[in-house]
Structure 1
Amino acid sequence: MKKTEWYKNRILWRAGKLHLEDYAWSNFVLSKKQCAKEILEATAGHGAPLYVFFLNDYVWTVLTDQYLVGRLDEVLSSVSLDELGEVVTVNNKILPPNELKIHANIIRAGRDKSEFWTPAGNAHFSLRNILGMFPLTVP
């Protein structure tokens, strides 16, 4: 089995357990065809999109079978799933932990400490949970 296939299977399995169906790429393509086309162009060469967290044309994050890719305020960032390093929730507003759980919407990952947007709440921590699996040891 190829590494990308193994990664895809693990991501889909974990995302299913975390109830991320609303963020599945296949649903996004059906509902926002033009946006999906633009995101595909921006993420070309970064693997097959599996999940997308979309706010608008300038703020989105895509999890592929190889990368975490996102646009945040005109900056396009990508980090290989093998090079995520420590994945943290950004707390720029210095919120107490109970408030952060409700309002957190930025993840920082990779050597360059790239930032990626997510919807606040369950989606944010579900993506962190998925990213915590990487890098995987492929059989």
Structure 2
Amino acid sequence: MQLSFKNMCKLKPLLNKWLEEADSSTGSPTSIDKIAAQGRKRKKRTSIEVSVKGALESHFLKCPKPSAQEISSLADSLQLEKEVVRVWFCNRRQKEKRMTPPGVPQTPEDVYSQVGNVSADTPPPSMDCKRMFSET
């Protein structure tokens, strides 16, 4: 769209008025910043105790993908929020994925060898998550 200089001069006051009305109807820029800042609030980073982390690791070795019910049961037994346990398992699976070279299948024996404190005659972990949670 091309306007002549004369037409632009006629439109300028109308556009200024429109901008002022738009600014006043939405509030001041500081209130917009406050609203945006509220949406960006994040939960404080959770620190997990060493003993709890060990328990989570041992459950992960037995069952890397627990069901919602299993996560809930584990969270209750460790006195953590369900969301914290769920996110821990998600993050741990991603860590496993990063540490495993592409194309190499991850076996339970590989996981045990990475842990380091397991003897050679320790049987491989059971992938039966339901049985694991019924034992605890």
Give the TM-score normalised by structure 2: 0.25
Give the TM-score normalised by structure 1: 0.24
Q: Which structure carries more strand by proportion?
A: 1
Q: Which structure carries more helix by proportion?
A: 2
Q: Which has the larger radius of gyration?
A: 2
